[in-house]
Amino acid sequence: MLTSQDWQELKLELEKRRKRPWWEFTLLAMRMKIIDPESFREIKISEKEWEEIAESLNHLRVLDWEREFTLQAMEIKIIDEKRFEELKISEEDWEDMKKKLEELRGKPWRDFLQMAMAMKIIWPERFKEVLISEKEWEEIKKDLENYRNKAWLYFALCSMAIKIINPEKFKEIKITKKDLKEMERELENYRKKKFWIDFSTMAMALKILSSGFKF
């Protein structure tokens, strides 16, 4: 799925995003770590850069941008768990995340799913506090069906999130070989157009949907 040329292109995109702002860098770096953990070892982040990344996360905390804070915290944890532990996500942070998640219920569900997925990755043992009713799962699955054959990137991202949030509910989606081929076709389309950010998003989702990634 990923060629050596693809990886070089992704590395170039990553270099463009150092310090511009840091959440752009951590987002792409996380995707690259998931796509190819072995090759990702060659990506260097200096001590000073890690300090700046931590400062950028704290800035989101101060601004009360809970959604952005949660997503970047997840990205940092996937990139380097040791660095994540140094951030000391607090009980207050968790409560703020839960409040934000409640605001996102059903409007649209894809935003709720991305936030919930990030929370599950950040603090898996506390995630049982997040409740999703059967009625809400039915609404989520209905939304997902609306993306099938119409918006494959959204379909891939939402399916990936559901797999991480609730593997049992993921089994109910029934992703077919045809679905996977359509998503792979979309990936190839991004490659041809050199849309490397969309490419990285779809490649990450396909990796998690097809073979998995241990968080």
Q: Cα separation of 175 and 177, whole Å?
A: 7
- Give residue 11's pLDDT: 97
- What distance lies between CA 9 and its chain's CA centroid? 20
Phi/psi-derived region of residue 26, left when phi > 0, alpha when psi is between -120 and 50, beta in every other case: alpha
- Give residue 212's pLDDT: 61
- Give residue 161's pLDDT: 97
Reported residue count of the chain is 215
Q: HSE of 156 in the Cβ direction (CA atoms, 13 Å)?
A: 25
* pLDDT tens sequence for the chain (215 residues): 799 999 999 999 999 999 778 999 999 999 999 999 999 999 999 999 999 999 999 999 999 999 999 999 999 999 999 999 999 999 999 999 999 999 999 888 999 999 999 999 999 999 999 999 999 999 999 999 999 999 999 999 999 999 999 999 999 999 999 999 999 999 999 999 999 999 999 999 999 998 766 65
- Give residue 214's pLDDT: 63
Q: Cα separation of 131 and 44, whole Å?
A: 39
Q: Cα separation of 4 and 6, whole Å?
A: 5
Nearest CA to 113 out of 58, 63, 64, 155 is that of 155
Write out 93-157 in H/E/C secondary structure. HHHHHHHHHHHHCCCCHHHHHHHHHHHHHHCHHHHHHCCCCHHHHHHHHHHHHHHCCCCHHHHHH
- Give residue 19's pLDDT: 78
DSSP 18: T
Is the Cβ–Cβ distance between 43 and 29 less than 8 Å?
A: yes
- Give residue 1's pLDDT: 73
DSSP 176: -
- Give residue 107's pLDDT: 81
Domain extent listing, the chain:
4-206
Q: Cα separation of 39 and 33, whole Å?
A: 8
